[in-house]
Amino acid sequence: MRPVFRPECSSRPWSWLARALGPHSWPRRHPWRLLAGVLFVLAAVPGIDLGLAALFFDPGRGGFVPSGDPLARFVIKGVPLLVYGTLLYMALVLVAGRVLALEGTGRLARPLAYLVTSLLVGPGVLVNLVFKEHWGRARPRDLIAFGGDAVFTPVLLASNHCDSNCSFPSGHAALGFWTTALALLVSGPWRPWAVAGALVFGALVGLSRMSVGAHFFSDTLVSGVLVVSLNVVLYRWMIEGRRPGR
């Protein structure tokens, strides 16, 4: 089986990135330990979430960045369109290739199945259906500290301060970090750059959502760790053909 990162990357200036994201790196081997450590720190020091949220809160302008801000609106509307549009494009190419009997298009079937599965299970089921609808964590803009009427709850504690579509974790950040699934399909020495770009994109999406008071730092971080970890596991299973746990 082809390794996720080829050995020739080690002599390149970005070899540290290849090692950090390679198959033998600690985050790749122990993604759930990484998540547990992050959650423990954020739960033990809840002031981290409140302090970072306060950086975007300006009473002089009426609170957080308005949701009507052009960048905020682009993230809310554009990121889902980008993700779903990419999958639709690949599906159309695959179908057209099969109908027209074009050589090579059949190779898109497995990557497309991987992308659809990772999107449905990660951002779809885990983030939106399991956590956002049942964790009950109020968004920063709804807290008493920022002019609302809800009570803050640390990241590990489920609550009833939100009924539906709650703060934890970030759905848009999950879509942003999901692009690492696309990046993992890039072959050769460009893969570390693609993965790094996807991680930066996810972080920027999360930052934008934090700026409008929609999410805490922990919401974004947990979305990233959950989605990226799942992408890696599914990649190893569906693309590399490895059994889970190996």
The predicted-structure confidence for 32-61, as pLDDT tens digits, reads as follows 677 777 778 888 888 999 999 999 999 887
- In the block, tokens 């990484």 appear at 34
CA atoms within 13 A on the CB side of 16: 1
Q: Return d(Cα 92, Cα 99) in angstroms, integer.
A: 10
What tens digit of pLDDT does each residue of 188-224 get? 889 999 999 999 999 999 999 999 999 999 999 999 9
In a domain, 10, yes or no: no
Checking if the pLDDT of 2 tops 60, the result is no
Distance CA 145, CA 18 (A): 42
Using one digit for the tens of pLDDT, what is the confidence trace for 131-150?
999 999 999 999 999 999 99
- Which domain covers residue 152, as residue numbers? 38-240
Rounded distance, CA 73 to CA 148, Å? Answer: 22
pLDDT for the residue numbered 242: 73
The pLDDT, as a whole number, for residue 8 is 44
In a domain, 76, yes or no: yes
* pLDDT(18) > 60: no
Cβ(202)–Cβ(179) below 8 Å: yes
Residue 19 within a domain = no
Residue 242, CB-side half-sphere exposure with 13 Å CA sphere? 14
Which comes out higher in pLDDT, residue 61 or 184? 184
- The tens digit of pLDDT for each residue in 147-176 reads 999 999 998 888 999 998 999 999 999 999
Does residue 129 form part of some domain?
Answer: yes
Contacts of 49 (CB under 8 A, 6+ apart): 42, 152, 154, 155, 216, 217, 218
Please check whether residue 72 lies inside any domain of the structure.
yes
Residue 17 confidence (pLDDT) above 90: no
Residues 52 and 217: beta-carbon distance below 8 Å:
yes
Q: Is residue 75 part of a domain?
A: yes
Looking at the domain assignment, is residue 73 inside a domain?
Answer: yes
The predicted structure's pLDDT at residue 114: 92
User: For 47-103, how does the pLDDT look when each residue is reduced to its tens digit (9 = 90+)?
Assistant: 999 999 999 999 887 889 887 788 888 888 889 888 888 888 878 877 776 655 556
CB 21 within 8 A of CB 200: no
Mean pLDDT, all residues of the chain: 83
State the angle between helix axes of 109-119 and 70-100 in degrees (0 to 180), rounded to the nearest 10: 150
Q: Are 226 and 170 in contact (CB under 8 A)?
A: no
Cβ neighbours for 119, distance < 8 A, ≥ 6 positions apart: 83, 87, 178, 181
Q: Please give the pLDDT value at position 88.
A: 87
Q: Rounded to the nearest 5 degrees, what angle is found at the Cα of 66, between the Cα atoms of 150 and 170? A: 60
State the CB neighbour count (10 A cutoff) for residue 178: 27
Would residue 49 count as lying in a domain?
A: yes
Instruction: Return d(Cα 128, Cα 126) in angstroms, integer.
Output: 6
Alpha-helix runs per DSSP H in 186-216: 191-211
- Domain count of the chain? 1
